[in-house]
Structure 1
Amino acid sequence: MPSLIASNSADHQRNPRCRVLAAYETAVAEPRPPGEEKSFVQRIDSRIRRPTFFTKSRSSAKRFARLRSSGRRKALTFNRKIMPKHPSLPEGTCVDDYAGWESWNYREWAWQYLRRNENFQKACRDLSESSQHLSDKKEDIAKFYFLKKFKDFSEQTLKHNEGFSAIVAKSKKPTDTDDLNFEFELKYHEIAFVFDLRVALHSNDGIKAQLEILKSILERRVESLKKIVADWKVRPSPKVPRETHLHRLRVFDLHYTGMSWKQIASIPDIGDKNIPIEDMIERLRKDREAALDLVNFGYIALVTSTRSREKMPLISPPQQHNQH
């Protein structure tokens, strides 16, 4: 990095601005292990000491404090712009990086939000192909995030047989009248039922009646679960269209890269020049918060939303015909 201080004279050493810039320059040049942003600022502070002659002048002390604060802001800004981002995740600057969004169904949008969940990313990164019980660990991750099967966050889109499900296990389909063995260990947040399907062989309303009883039991069990689980939030069904989801995802990605709100608002297809900058920034903050809510398990509301299913339905893959 080129030097910010043109001279090493005694006058420059006494100049408070030069002292701040010199400390900032030195701290930036030092190697910084990941996760040590605070120590980076502390290193700047350790190099900036109040000169003895400042004790005789209150105005000089205030001026030095402002300069020191400026150096800290520069340091924080520098660190914010080096946040790591996985190459499979777009930065949000170009809409072309979200190819195919016009036809994404509700499950695909849910996956796009989940793959931005930092805890999910960490769980995927912590997996080692050489570790013991790898398949069990992948299965645990899939169940925790309501995936049908494990899928790494680096995979950009879902395949036709992938998606979300809250069904943990089900018994095998019988092929004869012999009894079936079915054993399963339940977690505290799971519940099991055994239905006698013969009622549907004798009544058109047999299954409906059983589902009504099931619904009542599930609702009571959920209320009991709320009392023992600390982190939960029941969300309404999302009703926004694809265009809104795309905009919120882009704002989320742009903010994650470290861009300031003013920089994000200046992007032509993100901000609106006809809206005052303060109001535009407030809108962008709310868009980012809405996306973050879906990232943190809110995607389940997206998957289960009747409105989302209607607006963004699943499209069956085209059938391939055998060519003779």
Structure 2
Amino acid sequence: MEGDPSTAILALEQIFRFGMDIKRFCTDLIGQFRTLLLCKINGCRPLIDLPDEEFNKFSQTAKNYTAETLHLKMNMLIEMVENIGRSNQPRLILETTFLKMIEAGNVVPVSQLLKKLDTILAAERGEASTKAIPAKPTGQEIAPGKRETSPPPPQKKKEHNPAEEIIPLPEEPPEFQQRRPTAPREFQQRTPAAPPTPAKKAPKPAEKPKPATRIKTDWKNFLAYVQEKSSWMAPALSHVTQVEEEGGSLLLHYDDAINCTMVRRPEHSAELKQFILDFYDKNLIIKFILPEEKKSTSSNTQNIRHELMHDPLVIATAEIFRGTVGDIRVTTKK
């Protein structure tokens, strides 16, 4: 409590030398600080279980310190006891805590410091208000009711500066007046030229009408066109003996009906009609002109061979495999 570090460390050395229990020592020390703190509080005598002589000694000691100081150091001791229970070096913690308590000194409440600061500031303000500002002595007395007027400052005469004088320029000779520069030609105003009239576009020459395609004369070219589109239809159309155009219809003459069996089917006729529209640019109705059928229903082997030889499927198969029909055998079903 007196703030002597050497005395505190030596006292701890004696305690450890005699083998005193540290926990018991710390508990007793905290109890001593509790007694000092209760002595600072009025009406706490019943809480102190001590004889009057010892109580008076504690009271005299407590008068030298504030309650805040005692409370702070007691909190340090309580924290020290908790740290000793978790540490392997209790002596080191005890010594460092004692040094902290000595360095803490006497604690003054903040409210007390603020009161002292207010007192000092109030005293300085009072001294400043009581000081009088001395008036400057003047040579003349001022009559009551009149204001003091200061004479105007003497005006300095402006020195003559010949550089500031304005010298009039001489008149321009007439010969120079006639020769005034003119603006360059490129800066002179020019009358805007009229915009060029747009050239008239030459009228497009009228398209010449396409010459009418003759179906009969261009039939070979048409067969070549069909050959590119359908390989089997061109051989079937090659058996046409005569081609005629009559009243929006295309007449295809065949000598043998077997040669146009495939072409006469509706789906193939529609395809042929589209080919004619693409090539000739004409929408024609296709009509097949066939010879009159024979009344006799009997057919000999030669006629059957002829029909098979000119069958479109046989012809297309021969062209695909690049072969020829060598022999046709006709058999009868039994």
* Bigger strand share: 2
Structure whose alpha-carbon radius of gyration is higher = 2
TM category, shorter? under 0.3
Q: Higher relative contact order by CA 8 Å / sep ≥ 6: 1 or 2?
A: 1
